[in-house]
């Protein structure tokens, strides 16, 4: 069993908000994750939602700013928020920019040196972290959903599309929907996968994954602020068009006047937890 070190613990909404650290075999470093455990866990196992955060974020952004615990307590669901990249590796160029390297793992498995040894956030999120949670906390194995914001929304979408039987449902706030066509995504894919290996890029692009999807039915719930200044990076219309072409169910909920911030996320986070609860609690 993985050894967990408790970093913090705070009681809220009848449950407990914890932060733990553990040594990750997949990433080759110590990783932190936040986990909200509702009071129902005192007498039964419950479902779990994984939240993936965006660029420059870590395991604390969602738990400190979104208010998600209130709704998780209402439905009796565990919330797990991992960090967004490996930390403390001191790789060349790892801290040179805010949108690549530390804090910007993009939830891919890198193939380029020096990133390929440690920057394996996709495998960490979809395998190792799930094993850690299942082994150490009172969750129901297999009863899990995934959601995220921005870079983390991209992560949630690709994790669900690449593993159609792993999650019961998926949703995303302002996700990077077509990273191979936007500046943030191109920088990440070139750096982690190689500019000369563009044939690999569609494997990590939700819009491209939709075009080739052949798994069981899956619905994509996309939440987008209409006043988001980064819409030209996010490209939700490309994903929705691809879903229409392939007849994959998709919800695009445009929020008039809302931007890219956690003020926006906090306003609608309850609707997302309720959406996932329909899949997890029935």
Supply the residues annotated as catalytic: 150, 228, 260
Question: Which structure tokens are listed for 80?
Answer: 């797990």
Separation of alpha carbons 185 and 177, rounded Å: 9
d(CA 157, CA 177): 8
Q: Which of 131, 163, 128 is nearest to 146 (CA)?
A: 163
Is the bond leading into 114 cis (omega within 30 degrees of zero)?
A: yes
Write down the H helix ranges in 199-261. 206-211, 231-234, 236-246
Long-range pairs of 238-242 with CB within 8 A, sequence gap ≥ 24: 238/177, 238/178, 238/181, 238/207, 239/157, 239/175, 239/177, 239/178, 239/206, 239/207, 239/210, 242/207, 242/208, 242/210, 242/211
Using only C-alpha atoms, the chain has a radius of gyration, in whole angstroms, of 18
241's tokens: 């068009």
């Amino acid at each position: 069993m993985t050894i967990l070190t408790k970093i913090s613990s705070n009681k809220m909404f009848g449950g407990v908000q914890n932060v733990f650290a553990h040594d990750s075999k997949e990433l080759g470093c110590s990783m932190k994750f936040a986990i909200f455990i509702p009071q129902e866990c005192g007498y039964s196992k419950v479902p779990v939602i994984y939240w993936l955060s965006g660029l420059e974020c870590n395991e604390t952004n969602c738990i400190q700013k979104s208010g998600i615990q209130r709704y998780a307590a209402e439905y009796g669901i565990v919330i797990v928020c991992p960090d967004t990249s490996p930390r403390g590796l001191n790789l060349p160029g790892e801290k040179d920019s805010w949108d690549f390297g530390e804090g910007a793992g993009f939830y891919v498995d890198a193939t380029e040196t020096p990133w390929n040894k440690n920057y394996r956030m996709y495998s960490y999120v979809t395998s190792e972290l799930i094993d850690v949670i299942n082994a150490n906390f009172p969750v129901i194995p297999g009863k899990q959903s995934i959601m995220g914001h921005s870079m983390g929304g991209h992560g949630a979408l690709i994790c669900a599309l690449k593993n159609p039987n792993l999650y019961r449902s998926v949703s995303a706030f302002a996700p990077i929907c077509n990273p191979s066509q936007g500046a943030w995504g191109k920088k990440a894919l070139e750096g982690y996968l190689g500019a000369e290996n563009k044939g690999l890029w569609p494997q990590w692009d939700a819009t491209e994954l939709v075009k080739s999807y052949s798994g069981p039915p899956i619905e994509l719930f996309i939440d987008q602020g209409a006043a988001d200044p980064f819409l030209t990076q996010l490209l939700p219309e490309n994903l929705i068009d691809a879903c229409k072409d392939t007849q994959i169910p998709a919800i695009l909920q445009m929020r008039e006047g809302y931007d890219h911030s956690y003020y926006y996320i906090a306003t609608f986070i309850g609707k997302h937890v309720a959406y996932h609860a329909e899949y997890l609690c029935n």
